[in-house]
């Protein structure tokens, strides 16, 4: 029995850390239409604001992944929580666009530190057979953060538009202290010293990023990028879309996103490991890509409140299954370089999270329907790619 199951407290703490990070990201979703109106900013600026978070995450993710190999997972997680807490405080205090951009970039730095280290910690403490369950639990925490974030943002905004961010800052600061005090380090001193030695003699991280197309897990990284692009494209303008088209309030937006995300989180906790063992990662990935593409496109044709809830439910369900399936696949290919590959995973996620919001913002200014048409097309193309490349791309069983 592995550490994952011997030390349930450590696993719960990891889930809390990643949950807080993604709750903070989701807080902004239902509130952005209000900020957009108050600061008189365009959809393009909203897209750039969302992309700023991912730009910093991209720049730091490969470095953060390797630092977690050489310095230890715990130190990097705690540092990420502290940076993230400050970013939320700054966002809550901001009254102009410049501090908002600075806050989002700091938030990206915090996420870049937290996410690869948490993923690598799980890989350190699970066997290959238990990896899917461990990744499913972490991604359930991510999904729950996306569920709670918009909901919390929408409801706490009733007490003041800045209250949600002050709440998130305080929670992250508190959890950083708890993590520092009780989370055990998953890597021994000898393992960290060996990682430092390998990094001194190894190739430059950015050269490895550029040459990642040669790696056996490259197709998985492409899926990571497309998933992030499609989901970021969908989420960035969702609040603006329903605000402009149906006059939804922040509370309405929060409810739709919250309801739409629940199913994925439930499946990740209860049945995700069984699904991957039964069908294989590649079949699950292909099915989720097709489902997400079809229902994002369907968003353009629904015109009632409950129809939007139903369609969003399916989209988030597919995305929430797709994300841990790809993470599990990459982790199985990583071998001893768990921190580095987790960093690459985060870096490609950031690339998608940069391109998606920027594209969505500009397309939204042209026509509010264009962002969803683009997201559906990209996911459909990736589905076709997964059909043709699945067997040779990642060495799947399914």
Concatenating the DSSP letter of every residue in 114-151 gives HHHHHHHHHHHT--HHHHHHHHHHHHHHHHHHHHHHHH
pLDDT of residue 198: 61
From 148, 177, 202, the end of a domain falls on 202
The CA-atom distances, in angstroms, between 312 and each of 141, 147, 386 are: 19, 12, 23
- Are 114 and 165 part of one and the same domain? yes
From 202, 228, 263, the end of a domain falls on 202
pLDDT of residue 87: 92
- Name all contacts of 203-210 with Cβ < 8 Å and 24+ positions apart: 205/62, 205/63, 205/66, 205/340, 206/62, 208/62, 208/340, 209/62, 209/344, 209/347
Number of other CB atoms surrounding residue 371 within 10 Å: 31
pLDDT of residue 1: 39
Sign of torsion, CA 260 262 268 274?
negative
Which of 361, 357, 368, 146 has its CA nearest to residue 243? Answer: 368
- Are 157 and 77 part of one and the same domain? yes
Residue with tokens 């040779």: 392
pLDDT of residue 391: 52
What's the DSSP call for residue 212? Answer: G
- Token duo for residue 216: 């056996």
Residue 398 located in a structural domain? no
Number of other CB atoms surrounding residue 194 within 10 Å: 15
Burial class of residue 127 in the structure, from the number of CB atoms within 10 Å of its CB (0-12 exposed, 13-18 middle, 19+ buried): exposed
- Decide: 287 and 339 in contact? Cβ < 8 Å: no
pLDDT of residue 205: 52
Which residue range(s) make up the domain with 109? 1-202
Burial class of residue 309 in the structure, from the number of CB atoms within 10 Å of its CB (0-12 exposed, 13-18 middle, 19+ buried): middle
Please state the separation of Cα 164 from the chain's center in Å: 20
- Are 125 and 49 part of one and the same domain? yes
- Decide: 332 and 132 in contact? Cβ < 8 Å: no
From 141, 171, 202, the end of a domain falls on 202
- Are 179 and 190 part of one and the same domain? yes
pLDDT of residue 285: 83
Q: Exposure pattern of 9-43 as b/e (b: 16+ CB <10 Å)?
A: ebbebbbbbbbbbbbbbbbbbbbbbebbeeeebeb
- Quote the number of domains for the chain: 2
- Decide: 75 and 101 in contact? Cβ < 8 Å: no
CATH number for the domain that contains residue 159: 1.20.1250.20
pTM reported for the whole predicted model: 0.68
- Token duo for residue 268: 């990740």
- Decide: 143 and 261 in contact? Cβ < 8 Å: yes
- Token duo for residue 323: 């994300």
Angle, alpha carbons 19-25-28 (nearest 5°): 135
Residue 38 located in a structural domain? yes
Query: Residue 242 and residue 247: Cα distance in Å, rounded?
Result: 6
pLDDT of residue 6: 46
pLDDT mean values, one per 10 residues, the chain (398 residues): 53 80 73 73 79 82 77 86 92 85 90 83 73 74 74 78 84 86 74 60 59 68 79 76 76 70 68 76 85 90 81 80 77 66 74 84 87 88 74 45
pLDDT of residue 7: 57
- Are 174 and 220 part of one and the same domain? no
- Decide: 241 and 257 in contact? Cβ < 8 Å: no
- Decide: 40 and 92 in contact? Cβ < 8 Å: no
pLDDT of residue 102: 92
Q: Exposure pattern of 256-267 as b/e (b: 16+ CB <10 Å)?
A: bbbbbbbbbbbb
pLDDT of residue 233: 77
């Amino acid at each position: 029995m592995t550490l994952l199951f011997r030390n349930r407290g450590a696993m719960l703490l990891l889930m809390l850390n990643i949950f807080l990070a993604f709750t903070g990201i989701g807080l902004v979703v239902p509130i952005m239409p209000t900020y957009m109106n108050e600061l008189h900013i365009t959809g393009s600026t909203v897209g750039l604001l969302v992309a700023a978070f991912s730009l910093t995450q991209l720049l730091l993710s490969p470095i953060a992944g390797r630092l977690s190999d050489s310095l230890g997972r715990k130190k990097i997680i705690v540092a990420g929580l502290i940076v993230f807490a400050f970013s939320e405080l700054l966002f809550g205090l901001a009254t102009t666009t410049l501090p908002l951009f600075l806050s989002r970039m700091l938030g990206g730095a915090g996420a870049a530190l937290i996410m690869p280290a948490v993923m690598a910690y799980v890989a350190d403490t699970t066997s290959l057979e238990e990896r899917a369950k461990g990744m499913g639990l972490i991604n359930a925490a991510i999904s729950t953060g996306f569920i709670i974030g918009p909901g919390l943002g929408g409801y706490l905004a009733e007490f003041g538009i800045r209250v949600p961010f002050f709440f998130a800052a305080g929670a992250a600061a508190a959890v950083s202290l708890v993590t520092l005090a009780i989370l055990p380090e998953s890597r021994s001193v000898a393992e960290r010293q060996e990682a430092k030695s390998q990094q001194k003699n190894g190739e430059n991280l950015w050269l490895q990023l550029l040459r990642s197309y040669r790696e056996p897990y490259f197709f998985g990284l492409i899926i990571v990028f497309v998933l992030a692009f499609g989901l970021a494209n969908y989420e960035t303008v969702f609040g603006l879309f329903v605000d402009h088209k149906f006059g939804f309030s922040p509370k309405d937006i929060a409810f739709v996103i919250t309801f739409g995300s629940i199913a994925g989180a439930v499946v990740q906790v209860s049945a995700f490991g069984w699904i991957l063992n039964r069908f294989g990662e590649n079949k699950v990935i292909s099915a989720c890509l097709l489902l997400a593409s079809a229902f994002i496109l369907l968003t353009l044709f629904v015109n009632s409140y409950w129809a939007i809830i139903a369609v969003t439910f399916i989209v988030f369900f597919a995305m929430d299954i797709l994300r841990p399936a790809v993470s599990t696949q990459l982790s199985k290919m990583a071998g001893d370089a768990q921190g580095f590959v987790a960093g690459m995973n985060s870096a490609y996620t950031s690339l998608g999270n940069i391109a998606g919001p920027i594209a969505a913002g500009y397309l939204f200014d042209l026509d509010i329907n264009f962002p969803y048409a683009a997201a559906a097309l990209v996911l459909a193309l990736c589905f076709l790619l997964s059909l043709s490349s699945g067997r040779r791309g990642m060495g799947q069983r399914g």
